[in-house]
Amino acid sequence: MAPTILITRPGRVGAEFAERLEAQLDGDVTVVLSPLMRIEHCGALPQMAGYRTLIFTSRHGVEAYVAKGGRCDLPAFGVGEATAQAAREAGMNVTACGGDARDLIAQLLSAGVTAPCLHLRGTHAASDIATLLSSAGLETDEAVIYRQLPEPLTQVARTILAGAEPVLVPLFSPRSARLFFGQACGAAPLLVAAISRNAAAAVPDDRVAAIEIAHAPSADAMLDAIKKLLDKTKRLEGGNTAK
């Protein structure tokens, strides 16, 4: 039996990823939504007159910025294509970077952007973008405009995890991994698709049957990692252990 795929991404982002999975896998798997975080807008934008470049590291940052009436006529950089697309849809002229903080910082420093820059972010961030850029000579401030509030696993998710069938869990950040394994209990074998080595490092080795790290920090790469895990599961069920 194919594993259930448990989607833990919040809000519309998680629902869209679930839809993509179901479409690409032709309904061969059961997909269950159980967001581990809830996005809540907070804070206020600073006086924008002095800023020359915007930096976004998530779609949530774009959505919160637009909801707060942020100006969209400044050049912007998005950490990856999904973030950049959200900014384009809001009317911004945006450059997509490679998908993680290192790529974003490298591209900003090499592109000759006009400072000062403003990083629009959540309360939890994997990297201190503003400090790293400022230390490298590119003046950058930050504004925290949304919160990522933890959410409990749904009762449906808990029931699945308490069962005997395998459960495949895509994890899109180290914090998601910590939140999930802080709650997950039960006998179900767990297979994890991790978006990065940092996310994989937050997964307890003794809690998973298999882990696959995405080849790039993107939704497309996560889909590939999930398909690889599903293929492994099918081979094991068929008794084919050939390498």
Burial of 210 (0-12, 13-18, 19+ CB in 10 A): middle
Ranges for all domains in the chain classified under CATH 3.40.50.10090: 39-149
As given in the structure block, the two tokens for residue 165 are: 């069938």
As given in the structure block, the two tokens for residue 19 are: 């839809």
DSSP strand pairing (210-213 vs 190-194): parallel
Helices 219-237 + 11-24 axis angle, to 10: 50
**pLDDT at position 48, please?**
96
**pLDDT at position 238, please?**
57
Which residues lie below 8 Å from residue 55, measured CB to CB, with a gap of 6+? 76, 77, 104, 108, 117, 118, 119, 120, 129, 140
> Which CATH number does 39-149 carry?
3.40.50.10090
**pLDDT at position 125, please?**
87
Q: Judge whether 157 and 35 are in contact, CB under 8 Å.
A: no
**pLDDT at position 98, please?**
84
Q: Judge whether 203 and 177 are in contact, CB under 8 Å.
A: yes
**pLDDT at position 79, please?**
95
pLDDT per position as a tens digit, 65-113: 999 999 999 999 999 999 999 999 999 999 999 888 999 999 999 998 9
Q: Which residues of the chain have pLDDT under 50?
A: 240-243
Q: How far apart are CA 37 and CA 176, in angstroms?
A: 8
User: Which value, to the nearest 10 degrees, does the dihedral of the CA atoms of residues 98, 99, 104, 110 take?
Assistant: 0
Q: How far apart are CA 180 and CA 230, in angstroms?
A: 20
**pLDDT at position 240, please?**
45
**Beta-sheet strands, E only, within the chain:** 4-7, 31-33, 37-41, 53-56, 76-78, 94-96, 117-122, 140-150, 167-171, 190-194, 210-213
**pLDDT at position 210, please?**
94
**pLDDT at position 237, please?**
62
First vs last C-alpha separation in the chain: 21
**pLDDT at position 3, please?**
85
pLDDT per position as a tens digit, 211-224: 999 999 999 999 99
Q: Which CATH number does the domain 152-237 belong to among 3.10.310, 3.55.50, 3.40.50, 1.10.10?
A: 3.40.50
User: Which value, to the nearest 10 degrees, does the dihedral of the CA atoms of residues 195, 118, 40, 222 take?
Assistant: -10
